[in-house]
Structure 1
Amino acid sequence: MFAVGCNGIPTPSRLSKKQSRAKSRFQLFLGLIALAIIYLPHSANATGNGIAGYSGKSVSTCTKCHSTGANPTVTLSGPTSVTSGSTNTYTLTVGGTGNSGMDVASGAGTFTAGTGSKVLNGEVVHSSPSSSHSWTFTWTAPTVTGNTSTILYGAAINSFNGGTGTATLTATVMATAPPPPAHPNLTASPSSLAFSSTMGGASPTAKTISVGSSGSAISYTVASSGSWLSATGSGNTPGSVSVSVNPASLAAGTYNGSVSISSSGAANSPLTVPVTLTVAAAPPPTTANLTATPASLAFSYTAGGASPAGKTISVGSSGGALTYTVASTGTWLSASGGGSTPGNVNLSVNPANMAAGTYNGSVTLSASGASNSPLMVPVTLTVTSTTPPPPPPTTGGTLSVSPTRLVFYAEGTDTPSPQNLSVTGSSAAMSFTAEAFGGSWISVTPSASTTPGKVSVSAYSTGLPAGTYSCVVQIKSGSSARNLEVVLVVGRSGWGGERNDSVVRPFSFEPSGSDTTSASWRRGAGAMRTSTDPANQGLVLVKNRLGSRTAIAGVVVTGAAGSPLSQLSFDLRTDSECSAQAPQFVVITNDNVVHSAGCASGRARALTATGWKRVSFNPGDGSQITPAVKPGTTVKTIALVMDKIAGNGYAVLDNINLNGTFIGKQ
């Protein structure tokens, strides 16, 4: 019988010989298996895809599996002082010759893996066993508000039996210092100055620079460069600096200097304002000029009435006294009064037996010692008739004429293009006549024709002073007659600057003679006050519904003749009428085509100036300008008018844009 131990296995003392031999063979087998396990070759001595949690940060290291050999040398290198939130590069190296692996952790911050590594559970581990024994990766420091320290923990093995080495690196994380408070900037207006002077003339008037700050008030000092330049006015912002120049002893030429504005509390100190002084050579001595006041005269006469009263021209000299003579042109005009300046010339006209119309003459002043001799003074005589056109004979038909009014615009010496009237009748082939009354500056052709037909009307501005002229063209057939108003607006391109309405010339025409139509510049009515227009003037066009249907008010825009048309716009107050023909541009091009651009067809956009909008027209777009302006054509005349009103008959405009140049009353 066998005795059984407490563990249920027969004890050796009670085993048979056969059982003892079996037990010995089993124990030998187990021993061989253990030796095979121990001495199996390890081709991948590190775990194939890395393990986190064995860097030594939490005590555990790779010795759990790799502890039989001598510990290899491990180094962890990289910056030991970093900036809050910065990203830095580190390298872990392990000694030895076998395949190796590693694990790196940190007390704070985040890792980004490099070649041969990966991020696992917030730590950097090898992605595969490495024979290079070195891994490079980046660590982003934590964002801190005060300086602190963080430890980087690293553990690595050299083959399965090579043991485990560890290393640590303490990194000081420096908090980012707050930026110093921003200093304000100095400001200067204007940003540059220019003076002009003539040799031997008076010094230019001093100018002022306004000094300010983009933030709180700061103190500043002022200095200038150039012996001819001086600046005064140091102080606190807001302040002003007075700048003056002394051109005495300077030769003709252009001189450049600067005014420096400095402040220790300004980010852009010193602020430099360039200053330019242009000294012109003294003009050569000139002879005196004749002067005449007024520069032109106009007489009016109604047939059958008394002759107009005489008028006087005051003759003077811009220098010393001059001896002058007088002559006149035209049998109806006489002038007397030659002598020495200052003196007077007396003018008179004799309109007897003159037909209705406008007559042009002149008075010529001559002086051998004057550089502008002879000086011509234009004289105009307008004769009107109290006798209306004779009544037409009785006929059975009725005439229709289109359009019912013609407006001609003339600039300089250019002759306006003829315009046509279409004449039709209620019965076929009505004979009619065409005749002009009240102006010698107009002609009609043919003087007789039959319906349907056309009558060409021509206006001649040569010799006419700037102004607005009107007359009547009568088309009649028997008892049927149609009277059409014809208006001629004459401008002069050489009138001078905008201050004399030379670029934008207002005009109005009201056949009834009432005050229901007007065109004028008014102070304070503009879109925005500027340094070039301190009075902020706006152009006010009015056409009252109670006035004549053929009345018109507007302006002639001079200075555009001969140029192509690329841009056209105006600024309009939003309470103004904006309809198909009020206000509207009327453009006549060199191919004698009349183009109209009514406010309602333009493209409008709001302006920064409250209550204003800008209405723009594309000259090549037939939906905005009718007809569209053909490429290559040039401008002959441009007008901006209130014609056929559909609203309140009132428009306030400013900044008329012609080819990118904004025109306003200054």
Structure 2
Amino acid sequence: MAHTRITPTTDKTLSLPRRSLLLALGLALIGGLVAPMNALALQLSPSSLNFSATQGGGAPSSQTLTFWKNSQASRSWTTTARVPWLSASPSSGSLTTERDQVHVMVNPAGLAPGAYSSSLIITTTGADGTIRKTAVPVSLTVTSGSSGGFTITPPSLSYTGTVNGPNQVAGVVVTNTGSSPLTVTWHDNIGWLIATSGDTVTMPPGGSATISHTASPSLWGVGTFTGVATITGGGVTKHVPVTMTVTKGSTTPSIGLSPASLAYSGTVGGANPAPQVINVSNSGGGTLTWTATDNAAWLTVTPATGTNSGTLTASVNLSGLAAGTYHAAVTISGSGVTAKTVPVTLTVSAAAAPAIGLNPTSLSFSGTVGGANPAAKSIGISNAGGGTLTWTASDNAAWLTLSPTSGTNSGTVSASVNLSGLAAGTYNAAVTISATGAAAKTVPVTLTVNAPTTSPSIGFSPTSLTFSATAGGSNPAGKSFIITNPGGGTLTWSISDNAAWLSVTPTSGTTTTETDTLTASVNLSGLAVGTYNGTITITAAGASNSPRTIPVTLTVSAATAGGTATLSWNANGESDLGGYKIYRATASGAYGAPIATLSKTTTSYVVTGLQAGTTYFFVITAYDSAGHESVFSNEVSKSIF
């Protein structure tokens, strides 16, 4: 960076530009650099950085390094740290303004206590490509953290007890006074001292933990017993004196009771409250023989007697009790001891009133004029209060029916809708649930009846028909198919076909919401062996999908050598007859699957392909439109010669 040189003179005053003067003064005040200014790569403040940290602690705060350029020409700069624990942010920049700043940081992680030094190198590149480097000294001092200091409260332990008396528990609180986590361990060789909690505890800086032990005076005679325990951790060991004083104790029994009182609560007509226990102990010496009594009919105590320690069960019976507060006492007495009592309080509350709970809180139905009734919906009823809920259900619409109409506590009411006679529109009603002693509730019911769809549509099943026969044989059985109207209004249909060997009956009809059954028949007369295709066409005026077609396939096979048997039977006169099934066997009664299924208009059938020298047995069954099949007919047979 070039600077204006000042030459001493006595005959004239030299005026510096204000910015140059300010820069020079600023550098003289804060820089502390004695080298010629035009020999430096940068002007820096401060000239060095010092950090301190604690081993195992966090990183110290970053420090700011400021540097100025030496001329108006901009220059780029980068920073380089010579050691891993040193870094700077940002690591590069361009001195387009008067000065720049970087934040210098150190990370003491993993460093042992000691003094560390290095430098941060700032490399600048001038407009003319000149490269200069400036080193900023950086020092880091890492000190040891305090990790072994702790205090003990109380500094000693003292136990007192009696021969054959209960165990005694006491403990000390250990507090970590250091700045790092600390683990300490209790050590002792005192035979009458047993660890209650763990002997090793870990505490964060400033944290505390309790180490407890149990003394057993019942195992020792009268006297004073001493010992010394140690607590070690963090390189520090501290001693804890421990004393146990055992006395003879009293030889006179005394009654000890726990708890000091009992309290019960219940509801009129409700379940009895759970039993409670009274612990009886001999808090004196010798032998305590005790007796337990109570002074209330609603209170029962068992057992009635015991020796030394024992447990009493106190039970309460609410039967016949009105609402109110009742008082009684359990008395424990014994020979040569002062009796003691346990007060007993029973609070009986009035029974809560029943309340009606409903789910859901509203119902909605929808249907179509002249259509099927919508599915029924349920209303769940529950007792949201107390006592017993006896309810009835009613409605205010002729088209709405409820079942059941009464019940107790929880139940389900089924709501059904009847569309008969209803015109298109929206209908509103309500289901009312009433109960003695409870506020009635209603469930709004909405029924939307839509106008019927006026456009009919052609539906049919199955979507194709297949026949097979033998040349010169009998015609195959006819096959049925149905026509439906999945649309609205009335479907007036007609049937046609395009094959001389194919016919359909009936050839016309009218369908609303029901189904019509038709029969397709085949005539083999004059047909040679081969496959024939035809089409049944269904047309209907006004139908949205007219016409519809049903493909029909007929396969005529060559006749095979063998005998025949002609079967005939009387027609079944039932109105729901669907057709007949033929069964064949080569042993009487040994029938498997049917060999033919025939239409209800067929009363004879020719069985072909029968082998010579064989006797065949035949039966027939009838089946209805739902697929139900009758028992076998009488059996007939034929021998082929």
TM-score by length of 1: 0.29
Bigger radius of gyration, 1 or 2? 2
TM-score by length of 2: 0.30
Looking at secondary structure, tell me which structure has more strand per residue. Answer: 2
Task: Flag the structure with more relative contact order, 1 or 2, with Cα contacts below 8 A and sequence separation at least 6.
Answer: 1
